[in-house]
Amino acid sequence: MLGGMITVEDWAEIRRLHRAEKLPKKQIAEKLGVSRTTVYKALESNEPPKYQREAKGSLADAVLPEIHKLLKDTPRMPATVIAERIGWDRSLTILKDKIREIRPLYTGVDPADRLDHKPGEAAQFDLWFPEPQIPVGYGQARMLPVLVMTLTFSRFLTALMIPSRQSGDLLAGMWQLISGVGAVSKSLIWDREAAIAPKGRPLPPVQAFAGTTATKMVIAPPRDPEFKGMTERNNDYFETSFLPGRRFASPDDFNTQISAWITERANQRLVRSLGDRPINVVGADLAAMTALPPSPPVTGFHQQVRLGRDYYLRVDTNDYSVDPRFIGRLVQVTATLGRVVVLCDGAIVADHPRCWAKAQVVTDSQHVATAKALRSHFNQVRRQPAGGDTEVAYRPLSVYDELFGLTSTTVPAKDDRRAA
């Protein structure tokens, strides 16, 4: 290879003059003002000249024996710890570069294979925790999880902020994202999230979700970030491309903004490994996926409890009022991402927006008015003189509804009887 004594332009001109113009070497040297030795070297070299910087040693070379000794004993010792052990007081970057170069001698090399994703084959799920705290009402702001789904073939993205990382909310979020794209991937990939598969095996509610949607839950092996690296990289993409400079007034505002950004930007971008845009390829993904089930899977929170005297029920640290006429009765509580609904024998006895704040009391003013009327009537009954001949009448609850102006079209009166 020709050294750095001649430019590429001169090298090309020497070869042209000699091969095309048939000029002798001496004449070429005189014409270009270079030595005949330079002409000879240019004609002998079949490659253009390249500048080659003389190799220099690293400042870390002086401590190589100590680095080798530490890595031999503890191959994965962090560079910061190594710097402390050897008393390194120069640039940490120089030391890190040297450690990165020699660490594989002791840890071995773990190549990451490129995966060939087929249409409709899989969707990867992950949680992203954006740093800004989101106002959730009651004077509170919280750092909330964002559930991210990536279709592995098309790289098509969807995301949704949810109130918690509990199983009910995760499944509800999954269903909202899956139903939003209109089909189910043949497998759903998760890591060992505590509310999904804490020990590598999906929890019963998660298995039920997979059964209803006719898919397979695939749990990533421990300590293998590349298994679902697609969503991990997308989280970084959100951090750098979506989040900067934005402000959010509420979880709904966050979801509105990220949904618009994903539609207008993320799914429109050219993905180098795909060679296309997700929006152009997602059709092939959807065509190979499974149709949505005729009935949705069970998601959210579900419990059956007996309503106590204070007529409030707790859901995820918050207390919600219930129609006090159903005190002592078994009621069914359902909490979705957006609402808390309480039923008694199929009738709605409470319906509240889901509170995303913590340790709050959510009250329906009608429930308070009903409780006040019931309490007043109860006290009147207590003040009646006791007597052996006193006859206690029993009337349907609807009589009391009319008496206290509390008629309700939502909650029908029960045939249970109360002392009048």
What one-character-per-residue DSSP string does 87-120 give?
A: T--S-HHHHHHHHHHHTHHHH---PPPPP-PPTT
Using alpha carbons, list the distances in angstroms from residue 298 to 170, 182, 195: 12, 18, 15
User: Would you state the pLDDT for residue 162?
Assistant: 98
Sign of CA dihedral 283, 284, 289, 294: positive
Tokens 């998660």 label which residue? 206
Q: What is the tens place of the pLDDT at every residue in 17-42?
A: 888 888 998 888 888 888 888 888 88
User: Would you state the pLDDT for residue 232?
Assistant: 78
* Residues comprising the chain, all counted: 420
User: Would you state the pLDDT for residue 413?
Assistant: 39
User: Would you state the pLDDT for residue 409?
Assistant: 41
Q: Which residues of the chain have pLDDT under 50?
A: 1-4, 406-420
User: Would you state the pLDDT for residue 289?
Assistant: 97
User: Would you state the pLDDT for residue 51?
Assistant: 61
User: Would you state the pLDDT for residue 403?
Assistant: 52
Taking CA 79 as the corner, what is the angle to CA 78 and CA 84, rounded to the nearest 5 degrees? 100
Q: From CA 50, how far away is CA 264, in angstroms rounded?
A: 45
* Backbone dihedral angles phi then psi of residue 261, each to the nearest 5 degrees: -65, -40
Q: What is the DSSP letter of 5?
A: T
Q: From CA 18, how far away is CA 15, in angstroms rounded?
A: 5
User: Would you state the pLDDT for residue 55?
Assistant: 59
H/E segment holding residue 136: strand 134-137
